[in-house]
Amino acid sequence: MVVLVGCKHYNLPRGFPDIDEMSDILVEIQIAESTISQLPNQISVSRSNSPGYFKFILDKYGYTALEFDSIRKWYAYHPELYLKVYDKMLVKLSKEEAGLRSKSDKEKELEKKEAERLAEERKLKNLWRDSTFLSVAPTDTFDKQLPFLIDVDTLELKGVLQLSALYKFMKQDVSEQPKVILSALYHDLIKDSVFQQIPHSFNEKAVNLSLVLRDSISPQTIEGYLLYQDSTIQADVQIRNIYLENKVDSLKKKSKEEETNFLKYK
């Protein structure tokens, strides 16, 4: 014998979820289906519509897959009631989506602020005070080796100097084994230098150069060349994202190539 309970003008079989609970269940199933549809190797719709596939949701509300299948069929036989369930489900889904959008917007704003903070922090750490974008064209009359000199006498630098930049050679360039040179001149007038050959490519390439500083004395100036080669050679190159940083905690053992380059220019 089926015992019925009142639900406004309808009588629900005992143990069946009322409109609110039924809409809650359908909302969770809808969210689960939406999540599954965005995963790689998407699960088929026929499978995702199976009540048994959402056993973890049904367990939460105390129904088996077979019981919930009967519940859905009963509601389907009462379309006016099912429409109320559907309307409630849409309202709840709208609130859920609004909450997710709000959370997503807040997360994006936090990520944006954090990115801006890190960019500003990185900018402040950059010892390179000139323009971070330079270009050399065949018609230029300035020193195409791009020498630089930075006074760091008051900074008491320790650790490692790291110079990085992005190089892109243009079509009119005929450079031959151009190099980047980074030097530290100390108060005792001894200069330590390292160099690295720049990849000659029409595609943008990164160059990174490290110079280990002395422990007992700080450099007076940092100097070098961004494009060291015969000045009579026709150069056509763009250099951007020039960055010079002192990393106190980045002491490392030089590679064989760095050690060789260091000794050549010492």
106 and 139 part of one domain: no
Residue 88 lies in a domain: yes
Model confidence at 45: pLDDT above 80: no
Model confidence at 256: pLDDT above 60: no
What pLDDT is stored for residue 110 in this prediction?
86
Residue 129 lies in a domain: no
**Once rounded to an integer, what is the mean pLDDT over residues 127-142?**
92
**Once rounded to an integer, what is the mean pLDDT over residues 200-206?**
94
Model confidence at 265: pLDDT above 60: no
150 and 242 part of one domain: yes
What pLDDT is stored for residue 134 in this prediction?
95
77 and 22 part of one domain: yes
What pLDDT is stored for residue 9 in this prediction?
58
Model confidence at 14: pLDDT above 50: yes
Q: What percent of the chain has pLDDT over 70?
A: 83
Amino acid letter for position 258: E
**Once rounded to an integer, what is the mean pLDDT over residues 16-28?**
91
**Once rounded to an integer, what is the mean pLDDT over residues 44-49?**
48
Range of the domain at 145: 134-265
Chain-centre distance for alpha carbon 119: 13
Q: What b/e string do you get for 3-30 counting C-beta neighbours within 10 Å, with b at 16 or more?
A: eeeeeeeeebeeebbebeebbbbbbbbe
**Average pLDDT of the chain?**
84
For the ranges 90-94, 183-187, 209-213, 256-260, the lowest mean pLDDT is seen at 256-260
Higher pLDDT, 128 or 262: 128
User: Where does a domain end: 118, 148, 177?
Assistant: 118
252 and 160 part of one domain: yes
Residue 199 lies in a domain: yes
Confidence of residue 159 (pLDDT cuts 50, 70, 90): very high
252 and 164 part of one domain: yes
Taking the C-alpha atoms of residue 254 and residue 249, their distance in angstroms, rounded to an integer, is: 15
For the ranges 84-98, 192-206, 239-253, the lowest mean pLDDT is seen at 239-253
Model confidence at 253: pLDDT above 50: no
Verdict on whether the full-model pTM lies above 0.85: no
Higher pLDDT, 46 or 29: 29
CATH of the domain at 224: 2.60.120
Higher pLDDT, 2 or 38: 38
What pLDDT is stored for residue 261 in this prediction?
54
Residue 124 lies in a domain: no
Residue 218 lies in a domain: yes
113 and 140 part of one domain: no
Residue 126 lies in a domain: no
User: Where does a domain end: 94, 118, 142?
Assistant: 118
Confidence of residue 238 (pLDDT cuts 50, 70, 90): very high
Number of structural domains (the chain) is 2
Residue 123 lies in a domain: no
Confidence of residue 165 (pLDDT cuts 50, 70, 90): very high
Residue 127 lies in a domain: no
112 and 152 part of one domain: no
What pLDDT is stored for residue 70 in this prediction?
92
Total Cβ atoms within 10 A of residue 225: 19
